[in-house]
């Protein structure tokens, strides 16, 4: 069984051919892409404030960062979520009701 088809003949030739006018979609628009890009630049410039000469903040931010770090590192009783207190209360109540379960509870801690 030999392949008698020659390269370029048959139905596949028509499917692979592309019209030269449709090679690039931006060629069809007739240069409208440049106008769109220019319009986008104008919109971005109007939406974003210019930086100008002032590229540093008005005040020193380091003291504010130190205060924030100190606030995060100070332990407080109010930082424990309410459901942790509810769980601890439930365990104490369960131990008061069934004192024989205390070794089992301690085993799982």
Q: Give the pLDDT confidence of 37-90 residue by residue, as tens digits.
A: 999 989 988 888 777 766 676 778 888 888 888 887 766 656 778 899 999 999
Predicted confidence at residue 76, as pLDDT, reads 62
- What is the rounded distance in angstroms from the CA atom of residue 109 to the CA atom of residue 88? 12
Q: What is the pLDDT of residue 20?
A: 53
Q: What gap in Å lies between CA 99 and CA 106, rounded to an integer?
A: 12
Q: Buried (b) or exposed (e) across 24-46, using 16+ Cβ within 10 A?
A: eeeeeeeeeeeeeeeeeeeeeee
């Amino acid at each position: 069984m030999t392949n008698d088809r020659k390269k370029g003949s048959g139905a596949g030739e028509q499917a692979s051919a592309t019209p030269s006018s449709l090679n690039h979609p931006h060629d069809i628009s007739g240069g409208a892409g440049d106008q769109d890009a220019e319009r986008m630049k104008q919109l971005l410039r109007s939406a974003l404030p210019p930086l100008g000469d002032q590229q540093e903040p008005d005040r020193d931010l380091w003291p504010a960062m130190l205060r924030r770090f100190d606030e995060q590192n100070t332990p407080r009783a109010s930082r424990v979520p309410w459901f942790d207190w509810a769980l601890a209360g439930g365990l104490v109540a369960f131990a008061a009701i069934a004192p024989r379960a205390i070794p089992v509870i301690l085993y799982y801690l």
